[in-house]
Structure 1
Amino acid sequence: MLIPVGVGVGVTSVSLGMVRAMERNGVNVNFFKPIAQPKTREKGAERSTAIIRQASNIIPPEPFTQAYAENLISANQIDDLLEGIVARFNSATSGAEIVVVEGLVPTSESPYATNVNYGIAKALDADMVFVTNPGSDTSQQLKERMEIACNNFGGLKNKRIIGCIINKVGAPIDEHEITRPDLTEMFDNKSDHSTNLEVLQMFGKSPLRILGCVPWNAPLVAPRARDLANHLNATIINEGDMDTRLGRVTFCARSIPNMVEHFNAGSLLVTSGDRSDVIVSACLAAMNGVKIGALLLTGGYQPEPQVLKLCEGAFATGLPVMLINSNTWQTSLALQSFNAEIPVDDSQRIELVQDYVAGHIDKHWIESLTAISARARRLSPPAFRYQLTEMARNANKRIVLPEGEEPRTIAAAAICAERGIARPVLLGNPEVIQRIASQQGVVLGESVEIFNPVEIQGKYVAPMVELRKGKGLTEVVAKEQLEDNVVLGTMMLANDEVDGLVSGAVNTTANTIRPPLQLIKTAPGYNLVSSIFFMLLPDQVLVYGDCAINPDPSAEQLADIAIQSAESAVAFGIEPRVAMISYSTGSSGSGSDVEKVREATKIAKERRPELIIDGPLQYDAAIMENVAKSKAPNSPVAGKATVFIFPDLNTGNTTYKAVQRSADLISIGPMLQGMAKPVNDLSRGALVDDIVYTIALTAIQAGQSK
């Protein structure tokens, strides 16, 4: 049970991080907020419960309303309240190994919070973890505050008090000791507020074990343009991209030359609606690629129609423009009162907060909570994504990105470098790359290498001619082909200057794969290159192959694909139980298509007798236990398959897209298999996160191939 010690400690964020940390370890976790505690004027579902439901596949029990709880407390019927809480807990969380329970925040409106929290902890027999923030306390003052908190819950002799989590270390606070970033600190991660370094001394002084220490991270409170529009009740002049993150605020009250330097990516520009010069200048910046966060017009002044006409090109870039009636001073006060809590519908920010907080909770403690569990675990999607990034970090590989001037690729490279997922190498004009990065508000650190293709193409002509001498390649043709960055990146890979290659955000699959097939070829023991997708179902991760490369594989090739896919599953922590998919199960059907699957199964078993594989199986028999009992009762795979091998590209591609879109789930891939060195293809509609995970996959493959 997470018990907040004071107001504004961020217990919801800590709850999110705790749940994510459990999920990463493959734990069947649930969440319970026993009593709702809405903020003033807050309507709808209880915030923590709604966010957990939005951000995961967990179905937490509904909390009791605050009014219901207060009626029982005021009537001296707290035992009835606790009985109801235990009943709801038991009925709704029975299948979970661990339940994270979020306690009440002790506010002036909830003076009963401490007593009720202690009662709930005892009623549920819960281990207690205090959640606090340092505020302006010294380490000694924080130690004393924690001792007082312990005394309210039975003292240090209470064995159920197991530790504390210190949140918001270094957060800006106001004179009332409440986390209250000013305009600069709220929207700009370059703030100069104290970092509370002294709080680290708590590790030596604390009466409790410190289970987590979460630094303040200003970007995590950066709102979307829509959040600010809702807060200000603004009129939308141009909707644009209302999901744009606002990283800082600039009040445009000076002349244009003195303000241009503040027209940056993610900036909220605030100006009077009659300042046509500022409006036009901001729009010019947007049309020149600067990703301005939003334009907020004050005073209720509608821009002139001719000015709006002039700005249509900027509006088309996605620039949000909003109008409010208050003046600039009133607007600044309204921005100060902006609620920095996570909106329930902001899935991107929820995900960032979960991962950030989870990364600052003691891993050894989390592992100790689950060490005694004997349940056979499925690899959950959060655990799989976490495992990908951890494995990639450990691999520490250099990955070349031939499409180095492509904006999504640049953003993904920055993320991979910052998180240590890989050491990206961008191919492209350095000036163009830096300009595009700046326009997106992306910082390319020292770990991102940039090579100008024109300057390095010459050194690969001779090695390329040597590799392709059997095909009669000449220097002239080699020079011409090396003008293609995918060919250039492939030669860097062939020469072991990089460890893997990722392309496809612009290039077709054929353009991405052809050069590696010519210059790197397949791995020893393999006759073809195939692909898999990792399908992140709500409670487990499945492998689908081949859904991207081979149109109509033979039985021998299908056996190759099955073996490659099983090996890939093992490499990524998934126990392979391989189902060879067909339109019939067992011996019930006939025809050339079924016979191909049957023969492929036989070949794969002969080549890899230790492999758990069966086929032909229909998809429902492979994945559903109740269907498997009737259609394939003796199959070692039916009902519990983790690797699905489709008979042809038509079936595989159609199935993966149908499952992905119908179930609204994430798929990662395609990941190519069978290449002598790792090369992976992207969808041309890939998002930045898709590219990041593909780079991670490639880095892991490179580490394993070594």
Structure 2
Amino acid sequence: MARSVYVTGIDRGDGRQAVELGVMELLTRQVDRVGVFRPLVHARATGEASTDHVVELLRARYRLELPTTELYGLTYEEAAALQAGQGQDELVSVLVDRFRALERQCQAVLVLGTDFADTNIPDELAFNARLANEFGAWVLPVVGGHDQDPQTVIAEVRNAYRAYTDLGCSTLAMIANRVVPSAKQPVLRELASKLPVPAYVIPEELALAAPTVAQLVEATGAEVLLGDAAGLARDVRGFVFGGAMLPAFLPALTEGALVVTPGDRADLLIGSLAAHAAGAPPIAGVLLTLAQHPGPDVLALAARLAPGTPVAVVPEGSWPTAAALTHVEGRLTAGSPRKAEIALGLFELHVDTVELTNRIELSRSDRVTPMMFEHALLERARSTRRHVVLPEGTEERVLRAAEILLRRNVCDLTLLGEVDAVRRKAASLGIALPHEESADRAQVRIVDPATSPLRQRFAELYAELRARKGMTVELAHDVVTDVSYFGTLMVQEGIADGMVSGAVHSTAATIRPAFEVIKTSPGAAIVSSVFFMCLADKVLVYGDCAVNPDPDAQQLADIAIQSAETAAQFGVEPRVAMLSYSTGTSGSGADVDKVRRATELVRTLRPELLVEGPIQYDAAVDAHVAATKLPGSPVAGRATVLIFPDLNTGNNTYKAVQRSAGAVAVGPVLQGLRKPVNDLSRGALVQDIVNTVAITAIQSQSAAPAARPAKTQTADQTAAQEATA
């Protein structure tokens, strides 16, 4: 029987969607078949399927392949009619049957309790408790603390615990959510001493409560004139109602504000967008009232001033529009991935997920899905937080990845680039880089190589390293302003633990500085790469698919040993297949002989390593083929590390598997350097960047810390002070 967690509450406004998302994340780290069940859902318009925004978010984010209809029980209207006609026992019986049908297909199920909003259910708390008991689920009650003093929050959490326990529930833990940040520790201390189960306190996060521009457009029935999807996804952190003349109006603008002004005030529209383009301050968008559409020339100018910034028009005047706007709160939906990352970061920062997992008693699945592998990367990176430098600080994908990494507390970051340009770009994308300094939270710095106090020091170091090539301090003074060189030197000096670049720079621009400055690690003959190929039920390691065009036998053996070590570092038991077009002794020729010699070298250098070669791909991964071609081999049919004889074969194979088998390719991951530097594909998606940064952080965890020169601390402090975001 699947293990189930029933997330419920005691009233509306508890923000429990963030907890539901966090629990789903926790479950999907452990097992690969996770279901979500909403016993009761609000009905949609006639002819539309009844769905729920949280369920749809979870379906999309966690790639749930279960039919939509199996994720819901009944509508509230159907439940009320059934209970009125046949009693609550019959209602509960129907819901239990539907839950069991889903449960049989899953290893774990997250149940989303009723929402305490227009539900017409008598004694809703008791109803949730009964369902949880009938489902055999753990109960995780969430108590809202918004605008509540600490003593009230403590009393409500204790009362909720007693209520659910008295009704026979097995309580997993208690969560106080949306608590005033300053009250977190007092509430946590009091609850820890008064409750027999774990208690967690999650502080209020304004970015979660803030609605997006898209949600306000929907709430007011506005017509969008300008703006792209990213602009509509911006958080609205306040409102500025415009009626004054432009000189008096501009000082009233605040960061993240939605400007509301009559549609015939072209001066305020253009002035707001011009201020946004200048970054002083970046606004969320503009809402025009009274159904007044600006002329085409004004709209064309507006589009050029601030591309992507939403401009919409509503039929009502300022007063009814204001009334509609102020009652909208932010919510988690499939269309708000940024809010999902914020919610997960908040949950992971304030909830002991290890303790919670142990209480649920989930055993980790033997299968490793792509999502489970990605979860494991973030979990390991977060366990010992490191510092990664990202040279491409003004690139949109890098900034979006940085926000996720910071929100999820994965690692500290340095973004390189002109400080104002980085800030303006982030603001234009609606990205809020954290400002507060906290030992518990990942931090970000913005550093401009051209103006950094580290520039002179790095120039002297680089000139010393490249003196034999004719490098002088004067020439180096210009070289180190290149973001790739500056980032590499930060890693070399121990100011950062690793570097990730390549979203807009070539592979050569990323790894050449590493070859010149960081150099190969002791015992490594060359620098090579691997891809983690995440198939439906396992992870394979492919090497080398990105760096070495035609390695000789010695180099191929080195690649195999490095790849086996990388595999082990990331939890993949290394069984190495040295690939060729021939298996065993069936073939001959220069290419096969190279692989055969490389295999013998690996066995000599690492006798404890399981290695087979030469071997064909099918014999390496298919047990039936292996039984015919290499019976009794400990690697054939079970290989996890596949070493290709040359770059042509490796690069084409990884791309063929990625596209044809739907595998998730994570990499390339460079190996053989003394300190981690990793390259991105210029077509990298945001999630690819997140994964690569997490891998880099994990690589740096395994590296022995280098002794820092005495003057590094002062330089670090100066760099931190010059631009802390």
Instruction: Mark the CA change 1:676 to 1:603 in structure 2 (over 3 Å): closer, same or farther.
Output: same
Q: TM-score, normalised by structure 2?
A: 0.80
Mean Cα displacement is larger for which, 362-371 or 300-309? 362-371
Deviation at 1:675, TM superposition (A): 1.1
Superposed displacement of residue 303, structure 1: 0.4
Query: Which segments of 5 or more consecutive residues in structure 1 lack a partner in the other structure?
Result: 172-193
- Once the two structures are superposed, residues 489-545 of structure 1 have per-residue CA deviations (whole angstroms, 9 ceiling, x without a partner) of 444544555443333234311122122213332112212111223345565544333
Residue 465 to residue 364, structure 1, CA distance change in 2 (3 Å): closer
Gaps of 5+ in 2: 1-5, 438-442, 705-725
Alignment of 1:278-297 (within 5 A): 278-288=268-278, 292-297=283-288
The answer on whether the counterparts of 2:211 and 2:328 sit within 8 Å (CA) in structure 1 is no
Q: Distance in 2 between matches of 1:365 and 1:394?
A: 14
Answering whether residue 90 of structure 2 is matched by residue 102 of structure 1, we say no
Q: Deviations over 1:401-422 (max 9, x none)?
A: 4445656656766776676644
Deviations 1:617-657 (A, max 9, x none): 66566556677677777554456544343343334334444
CA displacement at 1:19 relative to structure 2: 1.7
User: Could you tell which deviates more after superposition, 563-572 or 580-589?
Assistant: 580-589
Instruction: Sort the Cα spacing of 1:478 and 1:542 in 2 relative to 1 into closer, same or farther, 3 A.
Output: same
- Displacement of 1:301 in angstroms is 0.5
Task: State the match for 1:325 in structure 2.
Answer: 315
Q: Which amino acid aligns with 1:126?
A: A
1:299–1:568 distance in 2 versus 1, CA, 3 Å: same
Deviation at 1:555, TM superposition (A): 3.6
- Name the CA shift for 1:626/1:354 in 2 (closer, same or farther; >3 Å): farther
Do the aligned residues in 2 keep the contact of 1:146 with 1:207 (CA within 8 Å)? Answer: no
Equivalence map 1:544-623=2 (5 Å): 544-581=542-579, 596-615=594-613
1:33 aligned residue (37, 47, 56): 37
* CA apart distance, 1:673: 0.7
Which residue of structure 2 aligns with residue 165 of structure 1? Answer: 175
Alignment of 1:175-190 (within 5 A): none
| Structure 1 residue 679: Cα displacement | 1.9
Counterpart AA for 2:144: N
- Establish whether residue 62 from structure 1 lines up as the match of residue 71 from structure 2: yes
Q: Is the 8 A contact 1:264 1:439 kept in 2?
A: no
CA distance in 1, matches of 2:616, 2:317: 66
Given candidates 102, 107, 112, the residue that maps to 1:92 is 102
C-alpha distance in 1, partners of 2:100/2:500?
48
Q: Which residue of 1 aligns with 2:723?
A: none
Task: Specify the alignment match of 1:450 in structure 2.
Answer: 447
Match of 2:247 among 257, 261, 273: 257
Distance change in 2, residues 1:619/1:459 (3 Å)? same
Using the TM superposition, give the Cα deviation of residue 359 of structure 1 relative to its aligned residue in structure 2, in angstroms: 3.7
**8 Å Cα contact 1:164-1:208 kept in structure 2:** no
1:398-448 deviation line (CA, Å, top 9, x unaligned): 544444565665676677667664454455555555555565565475752
- Cα pair distance change 1:491/1:77, threshold 3 Å: closer
* Most deviating of 293-302 and 441-450: 441-450
Equivalent of residue 121 in structure 1, options 132, 151, 162: 132
Deviations 1:206-257 (A, max 9, x none): 4452443222212124444333333332222224344431232322233222
Q: Aligned partners of 1:456 and 1:196: how far apart in 2?
A: 39
CA distance in 1, matches of 2:404, 2:38: 38
Matched with 2:51 is 45
Partner of 1:217: 205
Q: What one-letter code is carried by the residue in structure 1 that aligns with 2:542?
A: Y
> Residue type matched to 1:509 in 2?
T
Q: Is the 8 A contact 1:143 1:207 kept in 2?
A: no
Letter in 1 for 2:224: I
Determine if contact 2:143/2:156 at 8 Å carries over to the other structure. no
CA distance in 1, matches of 2:423, 2:220: 35
User: Counterpart of 1:184?
Assistant: none
How far does residue 362 in structure 1 lie from its aligned partner after superposition? 2.8
Residues 275-320 of structure 1, C-alpha deviations (whole Å, 9 max, x = no match): 11012213323544675432221110110223223334236x2222
Distance 2:385 2:160 in 1: 44
Flag the 1:512–1:152 CA change in 2: closer, same or farther, 3 A: closer
Do structure 1's residue 4 and structure 2's residue 35 form an aligned pair? no
Match of 2:331 in 1: 341
Equivalent pair of 2:386/2:497 in contact (CA under 8 Å): yes
Cα gap change, 1:137 to 1:464, in 2 (>3 Å): closer
Cα distance in 1 between the residues matched to 2:638 and 2:232: 40
d(CA) in 1 for partners of 2:186, 2:111: 30
Quote the Cα distance in structure 2 between the aligned partners of 1:423 and 1:32. 33
Aligned to 2:122: 111
- 1:99-158 deviations in Å (ceiling 9; x for gaps): 3333334455122644543333333333333222235555555555456555655628x4
| Residues 422, 309 of structure 1: alpha-carbon distance in 2 compared, 3 angstrom cutoff | closer
Q: Identify the residue that residue 645 of structure 1 maps to in structure 2.
A: 643
How many residues are paired up? 680
Q: 1:520 to 1:58 in 2, by over 3 A?
A: same
Separation (CA, whole Å) in 2 of partners of 1:547 and 1:209: 50
1:159–1:287 CA distance, 2 compared to 1 (3 A)? closer
Taking structure 1 as the reference length, the TM-score comes to 0.82
Q: 1:677 to 1:358 in 2, by over 3 A?
A: closer
Q: Deviations over 1:555-612 (max 9, x none)?
A: 4323322221221222233333444455666667776555554554443333323333
Which amino acid in 1 is paired with 2:74? T
Is the contact made by 2:556 and 2:645 (CA closer than 8 Å) also made in structure 1? yes
**Paired AA for residue 14 in structure 1:** V
Partner of residue 277, structure 1: 267
CA-to-aligned-CA distance 1:365-401 (integer Å, 9 cap, x gap): 324236674x664455555445444544555545444
Q: Does 1:244 align with 2:233?
A: yes
Check the 8 A contact 1:211/1:365 in 2, yes or no. Answer: no
User: Could you tell me which of 292, 297, 301 is aligned with 1:301?
Assistant: 292
Asked if 1:14 is matched to 2:24, the reply is: no
